[in-house]
Each structure stands twice: as C-alpha cells, then as structure tokens.
Structure 1
Amino acid sequence: MRRTRLTPEREAELYEAVLALLCEVGYDALTMDAVAARTHSSKATLYRQWRGKPELVARALRHNKPVSLADIDTGTVRDDLRAMVCRADTERMEKDTALMRGLGHAVHSNQDLHRALREVLIEPELAALDAMLRRAVVRGELAADNPAIPYVAHMMFGGFFARPLIEDRPADADYLSHYIEAVILPALGLDP
C-alpha cells in the first residue's frame, strides 16, 4: 500500500463502506464516486491511497478477514487447521460468502481485480498455508512427498464454496470443523 496519512480508524471506515457498497450493488456497479460520497472523502484521496477500485476492494476484503493464517502456529498441523475455523464467527463467514459470491463473475471478467485479489489476499494466505504445511513436514507429522499437500488450499476453498451451492447454507465453523476432520486430515494421512 502507498504511504498513507489516514488513521487506522478512517481506513477501517473506508473499507467498511466499500464492503457495504459491494454487497448492495456488486463489483461492476461499485464506483470510486460512490465510495467517496459514502465516506465523505474525495476521489483524489482514494486514488492517492489505492491505485484504483480493484486494489481498494482487495484491501477492504483483506482488512475484513478475521483470521490470518500467518498468525496460526499451534505446534501441530492438526491443531493449526482446526484453529483456522475456531477463530471465525458464523455471522462474518456468512457475510464473506455473500461478498465472494458477489465478486465471482467480476473476478473472472476483470483481470485487474483478479490480479489485485491474488496479490493482496490470496498469495499471502497461500504462502502462510505453505509455511504451515512445511512446518508439519519438518516436525515429521507429514511426509514431504504426501500427494495431498499441494491440494490442501483447494480442499479448504472447495469446502467453503461448495456448501452454499450444494446445501444452500453458508459454510459455518461447525461445518468446516467436520470437513477438516472428514476430508483434509484423512487426505493428509492423519487420524481425525
């Protein structure tokens, strides 16, 4: 992010407004003008802080993220995976599901948004998950050649996004805990 003169409180306020607008109108209809009007700021201020709408949306989503994988290191991969869902609350997970659904089409049709989400949100989390799994290999919990290791992120994202599609219910912490126990831990060769 560029050097900012915004206070953390003001930055959080801007991010909340972006997410509210995103839920209300979707990504394509969200404009910097609308964000400026909602937050009583100028477009110039927004463009000084963020390169444009894609980066602003990606940073708002990152700011809204309740759990950072980089902050989790319990000493075992089993407990690390469990901690990922224990720290999330159901209301926020429902909101995140709605936000991601609203971004679904835009991510595939807007390369700038796709790039911003990868840089700001996805790549840091993938790096943290990779570090978590490497620690498990170093500790001897997982074999380095375990064929499931490269697919843990896919499994987690799949569980999160599949439930709303299949069951028309959000992926809450209870569901994800069971999913980890029934799918991910066995795939890694670990007993639930």
Structure 2
Amino acid sequence: MTEVATARRSRLTPEREAELYEAVLDLLREVGYDALTMDAVAARTRSSKATLYRQWGGKAQLVVRALRHNKQHRLDEIDTGSLRGDLHAMATHEDDCSMEQSSALMRGVAMAIHSNPDLRDAFREQFVEPEMGEFRRMVERAVARGEVSADCPALDFMIHMMVGGFATTALLDDRPPTQDFLLSYIDAVVLPALGVRTD
C-alpha cells in the first residue's frame, strides 16, 4: 500500500507538491479545517479534484501532509550531545514569526480533530507517532549518557510538558509562544523535573 501511494505521489515534482501544500495551508488559515474543501484546493492550485484524491486520498491526509511539509525541523536531525542542547535546538529551529504561524495552524487543527476522526487518525499516524518516536530516542540518548536517571518519574511526562509549554501560552497569556519563553520554560521546568542541572 505504501509503495502504491509513493508511486502515485512521485508524479508530482517536489516544487509542485510544495506549491500545493502552501495553498492548502493558506486555505486552512483563511477558512479553517471544516470549511476547507477539495474543490477549493483544486481551484486555488489549478488542479483537478480527481488528481488530489488520487494523490492524497482525501482532505485529512492532504492537510496533515501539508502540516508535515511546513514543519521546519525534524527531531531525527537534532543531536547536540546533551539533552539541554537538543531541547534548545528544538525551541530555536523556528523564529518567533514562524512559530506564531505554526501555533495558529495547530490550534485550528486541534479543534477540528475532536469532531473529525479521519483527521485525528491521519494526524496521529503521520505527525504524532513519528514525533513521539524521535522524541523517545532523544531521551534514550540522554539516559545512555547518564544525564537522566532511567527511573526518573518525570520521563513519562516529558512530552506532555513540552507540548504544554508550547500550546498553553495562547490560552493563558493570550500570546503565541516565543523562543525566549520556550528556552526559559525548558530550563526552569522541564530539565529540573528530570534532574538535569542548567547552571
């Protein structure tokens, strides 16, 4: 099944695929997930709706692929030699302007996930599970280096802490996350919970 999907997607050039993804994200910002239609994507990108369905299968898959494409860093590319360095690299891969745009997109998708099982499934499969796997490998390296104790109870909640810091600034502070906030949060909350010194 994966080979078939890859073969289908390979008909598009990387440039054309990137153009389509950008158009999807623009529509997502403009109208939100529920009001976004494959007809609108086809019109915006001068594509046929049949081509879009053949390439991506449906709206949920297309939107999640666009979000993945928009992500400016991959966790598997980060390995600074220390957990603090890795977490700081995660926090500074996007500038504040890009982070604000990403945060707004993710908030909109998070709301839609609750009422769209197909979006929830695609998001978990293509976004959440790969990210969690890479994040676990990052933590395993820290444990292997002796930075974090393997039986530290906070390890089970590390991903929750990181996502919480990113996601709650809009709710609690009425502002998007910034690099300065995330770096301070990592040093003041996440690393101390894991027993990692930051001085």
TM-score, with normalisation over the residues of structure 2? 0.94
Match of 2:104 in 1: 98
Identity, in percent, stands at: 60
Alignment partner of 1:23 is 2:29: yes
Counterpart Cα distance in 2 of 1:76 and 1:98: 30
Match of 2:63 in 1: 57
Quick one: which amino acid aligns to residue 65 of structure 1?
A: K
Q: Once the two structures are superposed, what CA deviation does each residue of 1:90-148 show, in whole Å capped at 9, x if it has no partner?
A: 11111111111212321011111001011111111100000000111111111111111
Displaced runs of 4+ in structure 1, greater than 3 A? Answer: none
| CA apart distance, 1:186 | 0.3
Counterpart Cα distance in 2 of 1:86 and 1:99: 18
Structure 1 stretches of 5 or more lacking a match?
none
Counterpart Cα distance in 1 of 2:122 and 2:165: 23
Match of 2:181 in 1: 175
Q: Once the two structures are superposed, what CA deviation does each residue of 1:23-74 show, in whole Å capped at 9, x if it has no partner?
A: 1001000001100000000111111110110010000000001121111011
| CA apart distance, 1:188 | 0.7
Q: Once the two structures are superposed, what CA deviation does each residue of 1:170-192 show, in whole Å capped at 9, x if it has no partner?
A: 10111101110111010110112
- From 170, 174, 184, the equivalent of 2:190 is 184
Match of 1:82 in 2: 88
Counterpart Cα distance in 2 of 1:130 and 1:104: 22
Secondary structure of 1:109's aligned partner: coil
Question: In angstroms, what is the RMSD of aligned CA positions?
Answer: 0.9
Counterpart Cα distance in 1 of 2:156 and 2:49: 42
Secondary structure of 1:148's aligned partner: helix
Greater shift in the superposed pair: 101-110 or 158-167:
101-110
Secondary structure of 1:28's aligned partner: coil
Alignment partner of 1:48 is 2:54: yes
Match of 1:134 in 2: 140
Structure 2 stretches of 5 or more lacking a match?
none
Counterpart Cα distance in 1 of 2:88 and 2:27: 32
Quick one: which amino acid aligns to residue 34 of structure 1?
A: A
- From 101, 121, 124, the equivalent of 1:115 is 121
